[in-house]
Amino acid sequence: MSLVPDLAGRVALVTGASRGIGRSIALALGEAGADVAVNYRSRADDAQAVAAAIRALGRRSVALGADVSGAEAVARLVAATEEALGPIDVLVNNAGMALRRGLEELSEADFDRTIAVNLKSAFLCTQAVWPGMRARRWGRIVNISSGAARAAGVVGAHYNASKAGMEGLTRGYAAHLAKDGIAVNAVAPSQIETEMTAAHRAEMAARIPVGRLGTGEEVAQAVLMVIGNAYMTGTTVQVNGGLHFN
């Protein structure tokens, strides 16, 4: 058994893959042999560059713009992916936002937008792909959670709630789809070097037991691991430099 999954002939969709963790995951899936749809919300040029890098590996890849917090946009995204590359075998729900808010300034609009972008998006994308995966008796869904699902973190209560919800969603879909050859897992990073953590990088580095922030590649490695392991489902893998152990 190969320890790196062989994804040749598989089609993957990664949401929020124009930069950061999603970009690293999309590239790693391409390296493992998959054809990859690179979703973005606003940064078309960055997403096109990621798709070009995957094509340079000899895979097929397209960059597709869609705000995954809305049902119509997700339906268009999934249809465009399938038209360009074929049925989706691997879905990585990575798109997310982290509005840093204290309790005094946290508004209803902040809460609703965070839940829509971080949690509802995963529900919408998963609902769109699981019937096809079930018909083909194979699928992998990986939800990018956060250490904030279980620990407090610095972003705020709205973000904690969205990521805790992501892990509940993971368990719910895993339980219903295990018998159909579909594994659903979460990967929960903390303090990865991306634009999301740029504002508090120095403040955080000193608090992380391994002494530095993590990389997108280290998160992608955990994503590939759960995709390659058919006996893991419904679980969350932490990638956090020893920040917390729950």
Binding site for ligand NAP (CB under 6 A): 15-22, 39-43, 67-69, 94-98, 117-118, 144, 146, 189-192, 194-197
Nearer to ligand NAP, 215 or 230 (CB): 215
Q: CA dihedral in degrees (51, 53, 54, 57; nearest 10)?
A: 160
Nearer to ligand NAP, 162 or 233 (CB): 162
Nearer to ligand NAP, 97 or 230 (CB): 97
Give the residue ranges of DSSP H helices in 86-177: 108-115, 121-136, 157-177
Q: How many CA atoms lie within 13 A of 135 on its CB side?
A: 7
Min CB(170)–ligand NAP separation in Å? 13
Q: How many residues does the chain have?
A: 246
Reply yes or no on whether 159 is catalytic: yes
Min CB(147)–ligand NAP separation in Å? 6
Nearer to ligand NAP, 178 or 215 (CB): 215
Beta bridge partners of 62: 37
Give the residue ranges of DSSP H helices in the chain: 20-31, 44-55, 71-85, 108-115, 121-136, 157-177, 201-205, 216-228
Min CB(246)–ligand NAP separation in Å? 15
Catalytic pick from 40, 159, 173, 231? 159
The residues that are catalytic are 159
